[in-house]
Structure formats: structure tokens, C-alpha cells
A = this chain, B = another copy of it.
Amino acid sequence: MFDSRLPTVPNLTTAHTGPLLSFEKLLLDRSAEIEAWFRKQFHRTTAPFYCSVDLRNAGYKLAPVDTNLFPAGFNNLNPVFEPLAVHALQSAFERLMPSACNVVLVPENHTRNLHYLEAVATLRDLIGKAGYKVRIGSIIPGLTEAQNFDLPSGKKLLLEPLQRENDQVFLDGFRPCLVLLHNDLSGGRPDILEGLRQPVVPHPKLGWSDRLKTQHFALYKEVAEDFAEAFGIDAWLLNPLFRNCGEINFARREGEECLASNVELLLEDIKAKYAAYGVKDDPFVIIKADAGTYGMGIMSVKSVDEVRNMNRDTRKKMSSMKEGKENTGVIIQEGVYTFEKWRDPGSDASDMTAGSVPPGDMVAEPVVYMIDHYVVGGFYRVHGGRSNTENLNAPGAQFRQLAFNNACNCPEPAAAPDAEPNRFYAYGVVARLALLAAARETAAVTASDAQ
């Protein structure tokens, strides 16, 4: 069950850990109040069914940079914590449907990505272990019969075509009482899931056909400010600044002046914050598709000239998104350095480096997984080919996912604020703030649906 090759915690190397250390100390000293605060919040606003949050840890700042409501890395979590995920699934399902019930899991439509299919198989098995009958209902257009996949792990995955009769979906010989959506609907909301009698969780309007990162981060800003006010800290330590610009068309160069001026303003704001905290790093901003995912349509810039002088390739890259959709809007987000670095034990992989990272070191960023309002583990994205200002969600030979060795819910008051269990606890706190923002997003969608 335990894999001795699991990593310990990456090294955090930055000169500016002061503010974060005092934040971590606050988390430790006041963890009972913090947990009570979260309890109250999630009592008031139900947590999403599942969620993963990408964090960046600059030492002086720890912030979410993306919140995913269809988390696809369950196969990358530490199997030691599988029982935690099973508990959390039981809690989530118990609230949704106290009695016996079959679940149909609706995955993404791409079947060539075996990593993704492994994640689906892991999720399916976790749901089975939680005590629910579950089968996979695919909405791949034109799929008419069940298709079996033999996965590298040795698992099998059977995709069955999801069928509909009146206001209910079903599979051959299987009547689900709940549709668990694991398709981010980048390609649009499919008719087969509209107006169903069975609940669809998460709500299809939380897919990328409707959702916007700017809406999420506007809600996150409120959450971070609420938390900061309750515990007497500067919300900036947890909150990446952002701006947006309405409609943009990269190919036709529409909206570019708005983009440039907002990048300029945001760089100024970050510079002021860096000055206030004595941070010597260069401010940078991340421009990413407002409805984007899969690491597509993202660029990192340190000066407004990089926006003004975009070449044709960059424009093309920025305008294309998952499922061939065109990018029509962006979030302009404060870039957060990641100063966490991973070095393989005994390695001198000097080819696996880039930018500011010393030879042998790989840039790492934590991704925290949650089910219901429980943290159930996570992993580090580790990249040997990217610098500490770049998006690390870029699979390839120098990209890896290292499972957390810690469940993030066990702070150790007797240890130093930055000791392993406490750093993981801090991840869990900030990730749950993003989860709370996602909960408010969900509540808004559900409320508008009920009207």
C-alpha cells in the first residue's frame, strides 16, 4: 500500500519567507478558530462535490491560481490516503441521497489520453469502495456500443453510451439516481443532460461553457478578504490580484489596447505590494483564457511590451482552447512565483532545468484535492523544463506528478510553522478558501437555475 518512492516535501528556497511564516504561525496558533470559521462557512454554503486547486508558494505569498471543478488527477494521489477519499465520498453522497442509489459517471469525451482514463477508473473504484454501484456513461457523439479500455495500471474501463428516455438518462440495465459529471463541458452543454429529473452534480452550468475564471476570482477575492479580516492579516498574502477586459479577439487584434493597459496597471499594483513587503523579485502577470483549461491559452509576461509585440504564433496559441473553441476573453492575473523546488534524490539532472532554477532542481507547485469540504490529498506538479514564473501544467518528458506524503488536515502545533505537516496544513487552508469561493459560485448558479 505504501510506496517508499514517495517524495518528502520540496525545498522552499526564497529570501522572503517572513510574511508567510507569520501566516503559517497564525494558522497553527488559531487552527481551532480557523476550522470553526470553515465549518460555519460550509454549513451556510454547501461545498462542491469535488474540486482541485492549483497553488503557488512564493514564500512571502501562498495563493490559488486555478480552481478546477472537474479534477482529473485522482490517480496521482497517494494511495495511502484512499480511505480519506472514501470517507469524504460517503459524506458527500449521504447528503445527496441517503438511501441506496446507482451512480452514472459522465467523463470527458477524449479517449486517447490514458492518464485521464486512469483517473476515471480511480474515481470509479473510490465510489465503489464508498458503497455505491457506479458505471461510466459516455456522451461521445456517435458512440453506440460499449467500449472497453485496458489501462496501463492493469485496470479495465468500460465506457457505455449514455441513453435518454423522457427526462431520465440510463445505461443498458442500469438506472442511475445521480449523474456525476466529470466532463468540463468546454464544448458546450449537451442536450442529453438538459432538464433531467435526476440530479446532475456538479451543475452543468459550472462547466467551462458557462464558467469564467474572472467570476471565480472575484468571489475568491471576497472570501480572502473575509478570512483576512476575521484573522487580522493582509488579504494579498492569499489573493492574486487580477483584472479583466471583456471581449478579446487575438487573431483580429481586437481588445489588445485594453489588455495592454490592464497589464500595465496590474504590474504597477504588484510592484507597489512588492515594495511594501521588501520583495526584490520582478513582478509578472499571467494572461489566460477566461474559460480555459488544460494549460491552454496561457502566457506569462513581465512587461507590457510583451503584449504589444505579440507575434503571430503567440496570438494563435492564445486564441485556441480545448475542443477547438476560440478564446474570447482573458483573466489578467498577478503572477505568483513558485519557490518550491524538487530535486530527485542523488540526481544531477542538469539538463532538466530552465530559467532561474539551479541545475538539478525542478520547479514544483502544489495541487490540492478536495471532496465535499474535506481535503483528501494532492500532488506536486514538478517540471524540469519550465521556470518559476511559468505555468507548470504542461505535460511532457520533464513533467511529473508527485503525490503528497501528507493529508493536509493534521497540523502539528509542536513543530515549526514551516515543518512538513504545517506547510501542508497551510496548503489545505488556502485551498479550502478557493473551495469556498467555488461553493459560492455553485450557489449562485443553483439559485439562478431555481428561478
A residues with a Cβ closer than 8 A to B are: 1-2, 4, 31-36, 38-40, 43, 80-84, 86-88, 90-91, 94, 98-101, 128-133, 374, 405-411, 413
Beta-carbon contact of A100 and B410 below 8 Å: no
Alpha-carbon separation in the docked complex, A268 to B31 (Å):
59
CB distance from A164 to the nearest CB of B (A): 24
Beta-carbon contact of B87 and A1 below 8 Å: no
User: In the complex, what residues of B have CB within 8 A of residue A38's CB?
Assistant: 131
18 contacts between A and B (CB under 8 A): A32-B100, A32-B131, A32-B132, A35-B90, A35-B132, A36-B101, A39-B98, A39-B99, A43-B94, A80-B80, A83-B408, A83-B410, A84-B84, A86-B409, A87-B409, A128-B413, A129-B410, A129-B411
CB distance from A294 to the nearest CB of B (A): 30
Beta-carbon contact of B131 and A34 below 8 Å: yes
Residue among A34, A40, A409 facing the most chain B CB atoms (10 A cut-off):
A409
Contacts A86-B409, A406-B1 given; does A36 touch B100 at CB 8 Å: yes
Contacts A1-B405, A413-B128 given; does A36 touch B99 at CB 8 Å: yes
User: In the complex, what residues of B have CB within 8 A of residue A40's CB?
Assistant: 98-100
User: In the complex, what residues of B have CB within 8 A of residue A100's CB?
Assistant: 32-33, 36, 39-40
User: In the complex, what residues of B have CB within 8 A of residue A405's CB?
Assistant: 1
Alpha-carbon separation in the docked complex, A86 to B428 (Å):
14
Beta-carbon contact of B128 and A32 below 8 Å: yes
Alpha-carbon separation in the docked complex, A408 to B83 (Å):
8
Contacts A1-B406, A43-B98, A409-B87 given; does A131 touch B36 at CB 8 Å: yes
Alpha-carbon separation in the docked complex, A31 to B86 (Å):
13
Q: Which residue of B lies closest to A83 (CB)?
A: B407
Alpha-carbon separation in the docked complex, A20 to B2 (Å):
28
User: In the complex, what residues of B have CB within 8 A of residue A90's CB?
Assistant: 35, 39, 374
Beta-carbon contact of A128 and B33 below 8 Å: no
CB distance from A286 to the nearest CB of B (A): 32
CB distance from A151 to the nearest CB of B (A): 12
Q: Which residue of B lies closest to A375 (CB)?
A: B83
CB distance from A9 to the nearest CB of B (A): 11
User: In the complex, what residues of B have CB within 8 A of residue A87's CB?
Assistant: 84, 87-88, 374, 409
Beta-carbon contact of B410 and A82 below 8 Å: yes
Contacts A40-B100, A100-B36 given; does A129 touch B83 at CB 8 Å: no
Contacts A1-B405, A36-B99, A87-B88 given; does A31 touch B128 at CB 8 Å: yes
Alpha-carbon separation in the docked complex, A129 to B80 (Å):
19
CB distance from A207 to the nearest CB of B (A): 28
- Which of B129, B132, B407 contacts A409, CB < 8 Å? B129
User: In the complex, what residues of B have CB within 8 A of residue A133's CB?
Assistant: 32
List the 4 closest A-B pairs by CB distance, nearest first: A35-B131, A83-B407, A36-B100, A32-B133
User: In the complex, what residues of B have CB within 8 A of residue A413's CB?
Assistant: 128
User: In the complex, what residues of B have CB within 8 A of residue A36's CB?
Assistant: 99-101, 131-132
Beta-carbon contact of A94 and B131 below 8 Å: no
Q: A2-B80, A35-B131, A129-B410 are in contact. List 8 more A-B contacts (CB 8 A).
A: A1-B405, A31-B131, A35-B130, A36-B100, A82-B407, A82-B410, A87-B374, A87-B409
